[in-house]
Amino acid sequence: MRTRRLITGLILSVLISVLFVATVTGIALANVPGVALNAPPPPPAPNVPVQGGEGLVKIVVTHRDSMVPATHYVDHVYLFDGTNLIKEWKYTEASANPNEIFTEAVVLPATKDMNLRAIAHCTLHGYSSANVMVTVLPAGTTPQQMVSMNVKNAGMQINGIADPSQAAGMVNAQDLALIKQLQSKEMNTIQQHQMQTTQFFQTEQGKQFLKQFDFTAKQGAQPMQGAQQMQGAQQMQGAQQPGMMKKPGNQTLKMGA
């Protein structure tokens, strides 16, 4: 009888251990950090950055069950232009963001096209990344000109690449193949949206809409007004004021205003 009880106890212990491991494994599979980049759009759009302006870039990180256990959290977020590190956010167990979704933001000068890459690192589950292209137009480009560029590609851009035919080599091959299948399937709908948008900007309402983006017509104003966007985002989200940012070439840029 005693032997039977011992065997029964061992079986229960093994079952509990298996359940515990399965539960932890389930959490682990769901807790890999997710990363998304919100950056100035490609043309056609009324607010594409122009040289001499600036643009607001947001990194949105999702991470389930942060601080469970306390050593489990996102400890690094990086922003690169190609392979050049633009900005790094570091977190400790005490300063890590416990929310399932949180955002970091930075204002970047618009001097050239950028291949932005965001990478987040979780202390338990490693790295995740996202990338997006940012097109910078020549100084003096008006919002009306912006929405007239690449109209044939409206709704078809891939990861911020204005011309989807240029996406090969910059987008994961499997993702690119799937996107092209979706484009082919939805082409009629995409073309309908292109026509509707073109017609909208020809109306008086559309012309008035464009005026609010025409910073080039306002003396002394920056084309993108990225610093103002940053201030507005901080007021809405309670974000911390940005510090100093290191640019390639060891130049230091003050972010925010």
Question: What pLDDT, on a 0 to 100 scale, did the predictor assign at position 215?
Answer: 65
227: buried, middle or exposed (CB in 10 Å: 19+, 13-18, 0-12)?
middle
Strand pairing category for 126-134 and 114-122? antiparallel
pLDDT digits (tens, 9 = 90+) for 23-67: 333 344 457 888 999 999 999 999 999 999 999 999 999 998 777
Q: Using the 8-state DSSP alphabet, how is residue 44 labeled?
A: S
Residue 130 has pLDDT above 90, yes or no: yes
**Which amino acid makes up residue 46?**
P
The band of 205, judged by pLDDT with boundaries at 50, 70 and 90, is very high
Domain boundaries, the chain: 1-30, 31-254
Query: Please, are residues 118 and 111 in contact by the beta-carbon 8 Å criterion?
Result: no
Which two three-digit tokens encode residue 185?
Answer: 């399937």
The band of 200, judged by pLDDT with boundaries at 50, 70 and 90, is very high
Residue 156 has pLDDT above 70, yes or no: yes
Residue 153 has pLDDT above 60, yes or no: yes
Q: Which fold has domain 31-254?
A: Immunoglobulin-like (2.60.40)
The residue-averaged pLDDT of 76-90 equals 96
List, in sequence order, the alpha helices (H) in the chain.
2-30, 143-148, 173-185, 187-201, 204-211, 226-237
Query: Please, are residues 201 and 194 in contact by the beta-carbon 8 Å criterion?
Result: no
